[in-house]
Amino acid sequence: NAGVTQTPKFQVLKTGQSMTLQCAQDMNHNSMYWYRQDPGMGLRLIYYSASEGTTDKGEVPNGYNVSRLNKREFSLRLESAAPSQTSVYFCASSTGFGNTIYFGEGSWLTVV
């Protein structure tokens, strides 16, 4: 069972470059999320999508954009990467609000 799949797993960017993190889930979940995890800060929600065609800001949305391409896929785009965006990014999904949430393996991003 694949669950939640993220690509790439590792990426190094130069300041100002752009990139897209891809996420796909095969559990037919309605809700999808992007979190970032930083030492000493815990996990923080960047954006989420409660259903296909909708997206909403989380706690730390600045510098990011998202696209819910279809029910399976939810991508996160950094338009102009900054060193402060160096982090581990996790995609997650659930059947909906208040239900168990399933995480991907993470994407390690370094911006130099």
Partner 1 sequence: KQEVTQIPAALSVPEGENLVLNCSFTDSAIYNLQWFRQDPGKGLTSLLLIQSSQREQTSGRLNASLDKSSGRSTLYIAASQPGDSATYLCAVGQGGSEKLVFGKGTKLTVNP
> Where does this chain bind partner 1 (CB under 8 A)?
4, 31, 33, 40-45, 48, 50, 56, 58-59, 90, 92, 97-106
Question: Which one, 17 or 88, has the nearer CB to partner 1?
Answer: 88
- Cis status of the peptide bond prior to 83, with omega within 30 of 0: no
The least distance separating partner 1 from the CB of residue 18, rounded to whole angstroms, comes to 25
CB of 56 to partner 1, least distance (A): 7
- Report the b/e string of 87-103 with b at 16+ CB within 10 A: bebbbbbbeeeeeeebe
- Residue among 4 and 78 whose Cβ is closer to partner 1: 4
Would residue 94 be called left, alpha or beta, if left means φ above 0 and alpha means ψ between -120 and 50 degrees?
beta
